[in-house]
Amino acid sequence: MINISNLTKSFGDFDAVKSVSLSVPEGAFLVLVGPSGCGKSTILRMLAGLEKPSGGTITFGEKTVSDGERGWTIEPAQRDAGLVFQSYALWPHMTVAGNVEWPLKVARMPPPERKARVSEVLTLLGIDKLSRRYPNEISGGQQQRVAIARMIAPKPKILLFDEPLSNLDAKLRVEMRTELLRVHRATGATSIYVTHDQVEAMTMASHVAVLKDGEVEQFGAPEELVAAPKTAFVATFVGTPPANLVPVAPEGSSITLAGEAMDATFPLEHPAQAMFRPEDLKVGDTAGPRTIPMEFAEASPVAGRMMVTGTRGDLRLTAVVDRAPRFSPGDSVYFSLPETPAAIFSLEGERLP
Of 237, 258, 281, the domain-final residue: 237
pLDDT attached to residue 198: 86
Are both 206 and 280 inside the same structural domain? Answer: no
Are both 19 and 107 inside the same structural domain? Answer: yes
Query: For every one of its 353 residues, what pLDDT tens digit does the chain have, with 9 covering 90 and above?
Result: 899 999 999 999 999 999 999 999 999 999 999 999 999 999 999 999 999 999 999 999 989 999 999 989 999 989 999 998 888 889 999 999 999 999 999 989 999 999 999 999 999 988 999 999 999 999 988 998 999 999 999 999 999 999 888 878 888 888 889 888 988 998 899 999 999 888 888 889 999 999 999 999 999 999 999 999 999 999 999 988 999 999 999 998 899 999 999 999 899 999 999 999 999 999 999 998 899 999 999 999 988 899 999 999 999 999 999 988 889 999 999 999 999 999 999 999 999 98
For residues 261 and 289, what is the distance between their CA atoms, to the nearest angstrom? 9
**DSSP letter at 350?**
B
For residues 217 and 298, what is the distance between their CA atoms, to the nearest angstrom? 30
Are both 206 and 274 inside the same structural domain? Answer: no
pLDDT attached to residue 248: 97
Reported pTM: 0.88
| Backbone angles phi and psi of 183, in degrees to 5 | -65, -40
Number of domains in the chain: 2
For residues 347 and 265, what is the distance between their CA atoms, to the nearest angstrom? 20
Do the Cβ atoms of 102 and 154 come closer than 8 Å? no
Are both 308 and 230 inside the same structural domain? Answer: no
For residues 38 and 32, what is the distance between their CA atoms, to the nearest angstrom? 10
Of 237, 272, 292, the domain-final residue: 237
Domain, as residue range, for 73:
2-237
Are both 157 and 281 inside the same structural domain? Answer: no
Instruction: Give the CATH number of the domain where residue 8 resides.
Output: 3.40.50.300
Question: 350 in a domain, yes or no?
Answer: no
For residues 8 and 21, what is the distance between their CA atoms, to the nearest angstrom? 10
Say if residue 179 is exposed, middle or buried (CB neighbours under 10 Å; 0-12, 13-18, 19+): middle
Do the Cβ atoms of 299 and 306 come closer than 8 Å? yes
Of 237, 265, 286, the domain-final residue: 237
Neighbours of 219 (CB within 10 A): 20
Are both 209 and 274 inside the same structural domain? Answer: no
**DSSP letter at 288?**
-
pLDDT attached to residue 64: 95
Task: Please choose, from the candidates 48, 121, 53, the residue with its C-alpha nearest in 3D space to the C-alpha of residue 85.
Answer: 48
Question: 351 in a domain, yes or no?
Answer: no
Task: Give the pairing type, strands 291-302 and 72-73.
Answer: unpaired
CA distances from 274 to 28, 244, 255, 286 (A): 34, 8, 12, 23
Instruction: Give the CATH number of the domain where residue 253 resides.
Output: 2.40.50.140
pLDDT attached to residue 199: 86
**DSSP letter at 351?**
B
Are both 164 and 128 inside the same structural domain? Answer: yes
